[in-house]
Amino acid sequence: MNEFLHMGGYAAYVWPAYGIATLVLLGLLVATWKGLRNAEATLKALESARPARRRTRNGSNSTGRKAADQTAGTPAEASEG
Amino acid sequence: MHRFANPARFLRLSALLLPWCAGATVILTILGLWFSLFSSPPDYQQGETVRIMYIHVPAAWMSLFVYTNMAIAAACGLVWKHPLADLFAKAAAPIGAGFTFVCLVTGSLWGAPMWGTWWVWDARLTSVLILFFLYLGYMALVNAFDDPQRGMKAGNVLLLVGIVNVPIIKFSVDWWNTLHQPASVVRMGGPSIDPSMLTPLLVMAGAFTAYFLSVVMLRVRTEIAQRKIQTLRLSVASGVAGDGAVSDGMQG
């Protein structure tokens, strides 16, 4: 086992190579996953605010619009970019 | 191809394919690591450092493969105005940049003990560094416009211009006198590499490809959701309840 970790004296080059590849690929996966969940949560909030807007179209329009704007606010800002 | 360019159809298809791609990524990665770390011999000249190759070369292949795919998508996006082609290119860019970064760093880690230098400005290394900057430039350009449609268009043009770099990278080791070794797998007359080393190389390449497919599908899903959010916001802002359930971005 020790010999394996030693990599014939090249441990300082072989292991960082595998480590960086792991770090980059896992990091991208996690960032992608978080971004997707963020976007889907925002979308759901926006879509659930829409029917309320439709119902109040003939009445006071402002309440529905307000609700949509509020749900649209914070989570999307983080997920953009 | 037009049939698959429909975002709703893509969402259904990707939901079907994603578990298979994710499963293939896990299995091929485990297999690939086993082959490359345990069941392959050290090189007779380079010793154990040859194991860096099983990361370095597949990452290099992926950096070219992803860029070529993005350029094809860019052409489709510009010619047929397919919204999904634009989204694919945008979604793939960070993954391609990641692979190029891994390729450059592992190459450096391999070069230090074997060439005696971390970096040289030779044709192969420099052209891959330019590829990395092309990825970063594309990502910056796409996000630099208030109107996403204009950003996509500018980015697509950059991708098509940058495609000249791909054959330059591939043939740089033949055209110029470089420190980098010439191709030993994808070459005329078949691979000149021993099967015991070719197997881990190909399995790792398969793992990276499956990884790319899985992550790019997740990212395209994210981009589609972002488009829908944007459409909904616009319809809310303008006070018109447009049917923006499936944003297709064809207006622009």
Burial class (CB in 10 A: 0-12, 13-18, 19+), B63: buried
The B residues from 188 to 227 touching A (CB cutoff 8 Å) are 211, 215, 218-219, 221-222, 225-226
Cβ distance B56 to B200 under 8 Å? no
Backbone phi, psi, residue B47, to 5°: 65, -140
Q: Which residue of B has its CA nearest to A1?
A: B38
Q: From first to last of its 252 residues, what are the pLDDT tens digits of chain B? A: 555 567 888 899 999 999 999 999 999 999 999 999 998 888 888 888 999 999 999 999 999 999 999 999 999 999 998 889 999 999 999 999 999 999 999 999 999 999 999 999 989 999 999 999 999 999 999 999 988 889 999 999 999 999 999 999 999 988 888 888 888 888 877 788 888 889 999 999 999 999 999 999 999 999 999 989 988 888 887 775 444 444 444 444
Contact residues on chain B for A60, CB-CB shorter than 8 A: none
Q: Does A45 touch chain B (CB under 8 A)?
A: no
3-state secondary structure of A58: coil
- pLDDT number for residue A71: 46
Backbone phi, psi, residue B246, to 5°: -115, 100
**Which of the 8 DSSP states describes residue A81?**
-
Q: What is the ipTM of this complex?
A: 0.86
What is the DSSP code string of chain B? -GGGG-HHHHHHHHHHHHHHHHHHHHHHHHHHHHHHHTSSPPBTTTBGGGGGHHHHHHHHHHHHHHHHHHHHHHHHHHHH--HHHHHHHHHHHHHHHHHHHHHHHHHHHHHHHHTS-S----HHHHHHHHHHHHHHHHHHHHTT-SSHHHHHHHHHHHHHHHTTHHHHHHHHHHHS--SSPPPSSSSTTS--S-HHHHHHHHHHHHHHHHHHHHHHHHHHHHHHHHHHHHHHHHHHHHT-----SS---TT-
Contact residues on chain B for A42, CB-CB shorter than 8 A: 225, 229
| Radius of gyration in angstroms for the set of CA atoms belonging to chain A, rounded to a whole number | 24
Structural domain boundaries in chain A: 13-79
Reported as half-sphere exposure (CB side, CA atoms, 13 A), residue B73 has a value of 22
Q: Does B115 touch chain A (CB under 8 A)?
A: no
Smallest Cβ distance to A28: which of B42, B51, B95? B95
**Are B113 and A10 within 8 A, CB to CB?**
yes
Q: Does A28 touch chain B (CB under 8 A)?
A: yes
Distance between CA atoms of residues A70 and A73, nearest Å: 5
Cβ distance B46 to B114 under 8 Å? yes
Distance between CA atoms of residues B83 and B172, nearest Å: 35
3-state secondary structure of A4: helix
Distance between CA atoms of residues A70 and A49, nearest Å: 9
Burial profile A45-57: b = 16 or more Cβ within 10 angstroms, e = fewer: bbbebbeebeeee
Cβ distance B154 to B142 under 8 Å? yes
